[in-house]
Chains A and B, each alone.
Chain A
């Protein structure tokens, strides 16, 4: 892949990549964009290892996820955002379901990292189970298990 092809690929995929990192970083735009930049630089440096048979977006998401995990290990202890600050997780076109969304955000924030990531990739980014397995370096059975556990946990925590 040449630099021009890489830039074209990034232009197509950067929105989804940054949105995913924005959700993982719980609305912290600066951190999410920093991680996104680092991800794309790593991807550019590893272009010779990229297998053109695989999807570019899955490859980029895998690097992004690993970069996010490294960033979390190096960063200071992550603190839980207040409900007011968690508003930035939501887009500006939130409807009357604000209370429900807040409950969803709170419930998601309390899930283990792997389950939250799996739910975000599947429900917010639209990735299939096999793609999520590639991104998170797990088996498809493990991804399905995380989705199931994550859903059960969300159902339990969100009040009727």
Chain B
């Protein structure tokens, strides 16, 4: 069994192997970091695009909805046009609220239409492969 002092000298003098090819190592690292930066930038651009689309869809939907609401309020009630002596309470109830039902149906259809249009646009503009 060796002594403390001898062990200390042995550990201090031990020639540890040094790494080689520092330039190659740094070059490989730079390539990896380039790939990471590209992926981050791409992801950020996609997020910004998606946010812009959401804002546009919301804006157009709101305007369209307000427009439809104004039209629905301005039109005369179909009750006066279509009554023709109908006495069924259910029919009268439906005819009274028909403009609002119609407005809701149009708003939902318009909303789906805008979202579908925006999604189709994004599919058409996406590149099929990354530029080298």
- Residues of A in contact with B (beta carbons under 8 Å apart): 3, 7, 10-11, 14-15, 18-19, 22-23, 27, 29, 32-33, 36-37, 40-41, 44-45, 88-95, 97, 100-101, 104, 119, 123-124, 151, 154-156, 158-160
Contacts and interface: CB of A to CB of B under 8 A. Distances in A.
B19 A33 contact: yes
List 8 A-B pairs, minimum CB-CB distance, nearest first.
Answer: A18-B19, A91-B15, A123-B11, A124-B16, A158-B2, A91-B17, A160-B2, A94-B15
B124 interface: no
Classify the secondary structure of B's interface with A: helix
B16 A37 contact: no
B10 A104 contact: yes
Nearest to B13: A97
A97 B2 CA distance: 15
A57 to B, nearest CB: 15
Contacts of A7: 26, 30, 33
A49 to B, nearest CB: 15
B116 interface: no
A94 B17 CA distance: 10
A15 B2 contact: no
Interface of B: 1-4, 7, 10-20, 22, 25-26, 28-30, 32-33, 36-37
Contact of B29 (A40, A91, A160): A40
Contacts of A156: 1
Contact of A10 (B13, B26, B36, B37): B26
Given A19-B16, A123-B12, A37 B29 contact: yes
Given A154-B7, A155-B3, A160-B2, A27 B33 contact: no
Given A27-B17, A160-B1, A11 B26 contact: yes
Contacts of A119: 11
A7 B14 CA distance: 30
Given A33-B19, A37-B28, 10 more contacts: A10-B26, A14-B19, A14-B26, A40-B29, A90-B15, A90-B17, A91-B18, A94-B15, A104-B10, A156-B1
Given A100-B10, A156-B1, A37 B32 contact: yes
Given A11-B26, A97-B13, A159 B19 contact: no
A23 B14 CA distance: 12
A93 B15 contact: yes
5 contacts: A101-B14, A119-B11, A123-B12, A155-B4, A155-B7
